[in-house]
Amino acid sequence: LLQPEAVQPEVWLLPQFTSAAALWADLCAVAAVAPFRHMMTRMGHPVAAAMTNCGALGWTSSARGYAYRTVDPETGRPWPPIPAAWLALAREAAALAGYADYVPDACLVNRYAVGVGMGRHNDDSEQDFSQPIVSVLLGLPTRFAWWGDRPEGRGRDLPVQDGDVLVWGRSARLGFHAVRPVPPGRHPVCGEFRFNLTFRKAG
Ligand code: MD5
Ligand code: FE
């Protein structure tokens, strides 16, 4: 458990805390029930990362804006539950970072092809900012960019790789961040993709 220099207090990095190999079967099972899709933004273009969800609430974007939903709009069915091993992992990481009894109700799963990133934003659609976000990085390495409260300049880069887990909350919970485009490569489990699991207390 360490606090990377590139970011700020209340951002914790757990290097090599898990691996894509350990989570892969559950990832395939989630995607079989709730397939990856490119959601639309309010501006009318598709999100570059493909997304799906598990848990009671799933994050969605459409022409009507962002919303957490209990039902997958693509299938009309509830999102699959968060796999037990994933929940245990998120709870363990949160506990190490000082959050006792973390109970996420939402897990957004992002899939990035080579060359794809995510622009600068902060995560403010949740009801409960007292609870941290736990982010699990799988597959190809990339860099996160971190700004914190003031979204100015290029931001600071944090290199991350398969199996790393980030926990960020409290004063960092509403910090601005981005994902730099994924450099070319091939991961033995994930192929030419990077995945990210983002656990949140959304409801
Ligand atoms: C991703 N997802 O990789 C990111 C990971 C999102 C989203 O941002 O809203 O779906 S979130 C973890 C993150 C990003 C940037 C910086 C830091 C963590 N950090 O320095 O702690 O799909
Ligand atoms: Fe985010």
**pLDDT level of residue 142 (50, 70, 90 thresholds):** very high
Ligand 1 mean position to 95 CA, how many Å? 19
In 3D space, the residue among 148, 167, 155, 159 whose CA is nearest the CA of residue 194 turns out to be 159
pLDDT, position 6: 82
Stretch among 19-23, 88-92, 171-175 having the lowest mean pLDDT: 171-175
45 CB-near residues (< 8 Å, 6+ apart): none
Residues 60-86, mean pLDDT to the nearest whole number: 97
Specify whether the CB–CB gap between 189 and 123 falls below 8 A: no
Kindly state if the Cβ of 135 falls inside 6 Å of ligand 1. yes
Ligand nearest to the CA of 49: 1
**pLDDT level of residue 29 (50, 70, 90 thresholds):** very high
Ligand 1 test: best mutation among 10, 116, 144, most atoms within 8 Å of CB? Answer: 144
What is the domain class of 11-200 according to CATH? mainly beta
Residue 55 has pLDDT above 90, yes or no: yes
Ligand 1 test: best mutation among 39, 108, 198, most atoms within 8 Å of CB? Answer: 198
pLDDT, position 191: 98
Ligand nearest to the CA of 59: 1
B/e letters for 58-76, b = 16+ CB within 10 Å, e = fewer, are bbbbeeeeeebeeebeeee
Kindly tell me the sign of the dihedral angle through the C-alpha atoms of 172, 197, 108, 191: positive
Q: Is the ipTM of this complex over 0.85?
A: yes
Q: What is the pLDDT of residues 74-130, one digit of tens each?
A: 999 999 999 999 999 999 999 999 999 999 999 999 999 999 999 999 998 898 899
pLDDT, position 49: 98
pTM over 0.90: yes
Q: Can you give the residue ranges of every domain in the chain?
A: 11-200
pLDDT, position 5: 83
Ligand nearest to the CA of 143: 1
